[in-house]
Structure 1
């Protein structure tokens, strides 16, 4: 998520997404560096974290849509 090509629509969401990243990594038993350097992380682990973030965000959007709330 630190890639400069990834532009957030809501800039204030960065902290929430970073928190979600660390929570998911912890749930999966993946150790993440606190200093933001992920060069020693396995590609497979990074993919698992990203896939779970996407899955969770889709679930959140589905819940909002099913409750009739707009984004």
Structure 2
């Protein structure tokens, strides 16, 4: 794995986050580097990918919170 300084709070979430990244990249038509090095990826593509991951995670959290209070 690349030099990732972000620490996961729930270590078991790593596989789910990786799967989400690949799914979103496929939806957007962005190719994920096979070697894990993102340095050659276009900044625009990396931003779109990260933004969509964040959007989906916020959406999931909102649904979970709404479910608790309904």
Aligned twin of 1:28: 28
Aligned twin of 2:57: 57
Structure 1 runs of 4+ aligned residues shifted over 3 Å read: none
Q: TM-score, normalised by structure 2?
A: 0.87
Deviation at 1:34, TM superposition (A): 2.3
Contiguous gaps of at least 5 residues in structure 2: none
SS of 1:31's partner is: coil
Aligned length: 68
SS of 1:12's partner is: helix
Deviation at 1:35, TM superposition (A): 2.3
Query: Higher helix fraction: Structure 1 or Structure 2?
Result: 2
Deviation at 1:4, TM superposition (A): 3.1
Q: Equivalents in 1 of 2:4, 2:47: separation in Å? A: 18
- Tell which has more relative contact order, 1 or 2 (C-alpha 8 A, sep 6+): 2
Structure 1 residue 15 corresponds to structure 2 residue 15: yes
